[in-house]
């Protein structure tokens, strides 16, 4: 049986993750590799209910700590109910956002500190780190412009430009610190086809 792997996709809002996820799916299908596509917050009934609370523009009063704990709660359920079982079946799990989103959005952009976010998430994830993480890097102005073209902004997309700039820099920082072992930065400003070539290279170990 194939070994299960956890692949996560990260980046600023509107960086083109969804388009590339579709391509990755097609590639896995072409190689007849069993996979599961899922997302955070969400991926389970409980997680999708938490997602509604997190992204609703009605809850502008949400404290940063509440936000961080809700993301971690969604993740705790997701790992136990969906991700771990799929990995045990030998599937490739593609997850649209995971741990690194919390490090960057809550730890850095919301100023809660990386240490506390690591602490609550290590327990929430039951220690399950991704095997590879693709970080789609795009200037926040361009990211928001693309996001606004496709839908009305959710609670996080409605944040000020300065917030998105910090998110962007947070991802750059994580990628630099990692030194290319787990996190692969992807230049999402390039045309779709060129981005795909980068993505394909970063994930070649799955199908070669």
Size of the site for ligand TYD (CB under 6 A): 14
- Letters for 150-179 (x = contact with ligand TYD by CB under 6 A, - = none) are ----x-x-----------------------
Alpha-carbon torsion, ordered 197, 128, 100, 33, to 10 deg: 20
Phi and psi at residue 135, to the nearest 5°: -110, 115
Using the rule CB under 6 A, is 105 a contact of ligand TYD? yes
Residue corresponding to tokens 């795909």? 196
Among 6, 16, 27, 41, binds ligand TYD (CB under 6 A): 41
Q: Are 123 and 102 in contact (CB under 8 A)?
A: no
Q: Are 128 and 6 in contact (CB under 8 A)?
A: yes
Q: Which is nearer to ligand TYD, 48 or 89 (CB)?
A: 48
> Measured from the CB of residue 100, what is the shortest distance to ligand TYD in angstroms?
8
Residues 196 and 48: their CA atoms lie apart, in Å, by: 29
Of 102-110, 169-177, 185-193, 197-205, which segment contacts ligand TYD by CB under 6 A? Answer: 102-110
Using the rule CB under 6 A, is 40 a contact of ligand TYD? yes
Of 84-92, 94-102, 124-132, 187-195, which segment contacts ligand TYD by CB under 6 A? Answer: 94-102
Q: Which is nearer to ligand TYD, 5 or 51 (CB)?
A: 51
Using the rule CB under 6 A, is 69 a contact of ligand TYD? no
Of 24-32, 85-93, 99-107, 193-201, which segment contacts ligand TYD by CB under 6 A? Answer: 99-107
> Measured from the CB of residue 183, what is the shortest distance to ligand TYD in angstroms?
15
Q: Are 130 and 184 in contact (CB under 8 A)?
A: no
In sequence order, the 6+-apart residues with CB closer than 8 A to the CB of 166 are: 108, 109
Q: Which is nearer to ligand TYD, 1 or 63 (CB)?
A: 63
Residues that bind ligand TYD (CB under 6 A): 13, 17, 40-41, 55, 71, 96-97, 101-102, 105-106, 154, 156
């Amino acid at each position: 049986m194939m070994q299960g792997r956890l692949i996560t996709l990260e980046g600023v809002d509107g960086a083109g993750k969804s388009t590339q996820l579709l391509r990755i799916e097609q590639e896995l299908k072409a190689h007849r590799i069993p996979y599961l596509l899922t997302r955070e917050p969400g991926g389970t009934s409980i997680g999708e209910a938490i997602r509604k609370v997190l992204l609703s523009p009605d809850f502008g009063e949400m404290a940063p700590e509440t936000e961080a704990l809700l993301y971690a709660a969604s993740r705790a359920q997701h790992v136990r109910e969906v991700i771990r079982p799929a990995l045990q079946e030998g599937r490739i799990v593609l997850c649209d956002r995971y741990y690194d989103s919390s490090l960057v959005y809550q730890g850095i952009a919301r100023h809660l500190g990386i240490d506390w976010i690591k602490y609550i998430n290590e327990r929430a994830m039951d220690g399950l780190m991704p095997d590879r993480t693709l970080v789609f890097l795009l200037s926040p102005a361009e990211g928001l412009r693309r996001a606004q073209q496709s839908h009305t902004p959710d609670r996080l997309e409605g944040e000020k430009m300065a917030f998105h700039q910090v998110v962007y820099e947070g991802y750059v920082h994580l990628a630099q610190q990692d030194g290319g072992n787990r996190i692969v930065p992807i230049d999402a400003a390039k045309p779709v086809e060129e981005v795909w070539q980068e993505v394909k290279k970063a994930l070649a170990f799955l199908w070669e």
